[in-house]
């Protein structure tokens, strides 16, 4: 457990790329869901699970980020 804790601390000590900047959501049509524990999951936009998450008013929805300025 101590080794895992040290590994997490080392990993998060530097900046990480944001999943919102990934082409998965912008170009390929995948939805990214992150929970309170920091886990993420990818869902196809046409899947039932994605539709259920999109319809849930308690979940904040944030659009994927653009790659270039308009």
Q: What is the per-residue pLDDT across 25-47, written as a single tens digit (0 to 9) for each? A: 778 888 888 888 878 889 998 99
Within a domain: 2: no
Domain count, the chain: 1
Q: 29 with 45: CB under 8 angstroms?
A: yes
**Rounded-to-integer distance, Cα 56 and Cα 16, Å:** 28
Q: 47 with 32: CB under 8 angstroms?
A: no
| Residues of the chain above pLDDT 90, percent | 21
pLDDT over 70 at 16, yes or no: no
Within a domain: 10: no
Mean pLDDT score of the chain: 83
Within a domain: 8: no
Q: Which residue has the higher pLDDT, 61 or 17?
A: 61
Within a domain: 7: no
Within a domain: 58: yes
Within a domain: 46: yes
pLDDT over 70 at 17, yes or no: no
Domain coverage including residue 67: 17-70
- Grouping H, G, I as helix, E, B as strand and the rest as coil, residue 26 is helix
């Amino acid at each position: 457990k101590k080794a895992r804790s040290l590994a997490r601390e080392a990993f998060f000590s530097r900046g990480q790329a944001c999943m919102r900047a990934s082409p998965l959501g912008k170009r390929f049509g995948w939805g990214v869901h992150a929970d309170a524990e920091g886990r993420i999951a990818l869902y196809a936009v046409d899947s039932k699970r994605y539709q259920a998450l999109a319809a849930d008013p308690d979940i904040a929805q944030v659009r994927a980020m653009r790659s270039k300025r308009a």
